[in-house]
Structure 1
Amino acid sequence: MSVNWLTGKIPESICRLPKLQVLLHYNNSLGGEIPGEVPQNLGQSSSMVVLDLSENNLRGPLPAEACKGGQLPYLLVFQNMFSGNLPDSYTKCESVLRFGVSYNLLEGSMPQGLLSLPHTSLIDLAYNNFTAPLPITIEYPRNWSQLYVQGNWISGVIPPSISRASNLIKLDLSNNLLSAPIPSET
């Protein structure tokens, strides 16, 4: 249902479809009385493998239960107006390959472990209001091909483990408050 003029809320009944594997609602005008509130049970389908709600007017917190089914390789919600913190439950999304929440109003720190998900190749946290330093210990950076955290308020140092990201093609840490030397290869 992507690239249409869909409006209104995402019906909770869609989120309860037991065999739903792909939910693509990107590039619409989803809104509603409370503009685009995302049902909290979204992503609880154990068979869901793609959740893409990007480029809408969705507001409120990100659904904490998006990875409850445990198998959600693609979680993409960029260019909305989601606010609040990233749910700690996202650190349990071990099957995530692509995680994109850029261009929202998210704030605070990244949950410890989000940057250490074992299979993730793309992490896009750009253009939010994250303030805490990047985690110093990142366990699985070798799987990353793309890491975007530009346009936040992240302070501190660049974690030395980033130098072990042997598959990294694109890294953007610009427009933050990072300091200290760039880590060398270890």
Structure 2
Amino acid sequence: MNSQGLSGTIPPQLGDISQLEYLSLSRNSISGTIPPETSKLTKLKNLYLYSNSISGTIAGTICDNSVSLTNEGLSGTIPPQLGGISQLTRLSLGSNSISGTIPAATGELSQLKYLHLYSNSISGTIPSDTGKLSQLDHLWLNGNSISGTIPPETSKLSQLEWLDLANNVISGTVPPQLNNLP
């Protein structure tokens, strides 16, 4: 249901669709928050709500595979519980108002391929556990307030194709180990 001219809010009754595996309501005019009842969607694997006007915070358990909530009005922090979603392959939360730090538990997302946290208000450092994300090929952290140095563990990201750390307050040098990436 991408770009269908939908408006209004996400109804709480959506949580009653117990077999729902895929939900895409992207590029519409949906507003309001993601209802807490969506946590009952235990079979939900893919959630795409990007480019709407959704606000509020991110639930600790959203879905099992792919989450795209880019270009919204989301605030709050990244819930550490996301680290427990072992099959998560895509986490796109760019262009929101998310603050706080990147939880160390993010390093437990062993299947993660895309981590898009660009254009938020994220601070702190890049967790060294990010180096455990052996499947990661996109790491977009640009446009935040991330500080510290680039962890040398980043060189363990053997699948990495795109690393964007621009417009942060990162200091130090680029770890020479990054030169060993393909």
TM-score (norm 1): 0.80
Q: Is 1:26 matched with 2:60?
A: no
Which of these residues, 61, 67, 78, is aligned with residue 62 of structure 1?
A: 78
**Offset of residue 139 of structure 1:** 4.6
Matches within 5 A, 1:35-184: 36-43=56-63, 48-166=64-182
**Offset of residue 64 of structure 1:** 1.5
Partner residue of 1:171?
A: none
CA contact (8 A) 1:141 1:164 kept: no
In 2, Cα distance between equivalents of 1:149 and 1:115:
15
CA contact (8 A) 1:42 1:63 kept: no
CA contact (8 A) 1:95 1:119 kept: yes
Partner residue of 1:15?
A: 39
CA contact (8 A) 1:23 1:50 kept: yes
Q: Partner of 1:66: helix, strand, or coil?
A: helix
In structure 2, runs of 5+ residues without a counterpart are 1-24
The residue identity in structure 1 corresponding to 2:154 is I
TM-score (norm 2): 0.82
In 2, Cα distance between equivalents of 1:156 and 1:50:
33
In 2, Cα distance between equivalents of 1:81 and 1:141:
27
**Offset of residue 41 of structure 1:** 3.2
In 2, Cα distance between equivalents of 1:16 and 1:106:
29
The residue identity in structure 2 corresponding to 1:71 is Q
In 1, Cα distance between equivalents of 2:62 and 2:118:
19
In 2, Cα distance between equivalents of 1:54 and 1:141:
24
| Aligned residues with identical type, % of pairs | 24
Higher helix residue share:
2
**Offset of residue 24 of structure 1:** 0.5
String of CA shifts for 1:138-184, please: whole Å, max 9, x gaps.
Answer: 35233111110000000011011110111xxxxxxxxxxxxxxxxxx
User: What do you get for the CA RMSD once the two structures are aligned?
Assistant: 1.3
String of CA shifts for 1:42-75, please: whole Å, max 9, x gaps.
Answer: 34xxxx2111111101001012212312110011
Q: Partner of 2:107: helix, strand, or coil?
A: helix
The residue identity in structure 2 corresponding to 1:138 is T
**Offset of residue 9 of structure 1:** 0.9
Q: Partner of 2:148: helix, strand, or coil?
A: coil
Structure 1's 69 and 142: CA in aligned 2 closer, same or farther, altered over 3 A? closer
Higher strand residue share:
2
4+ long deviations beyond 4 Å: none
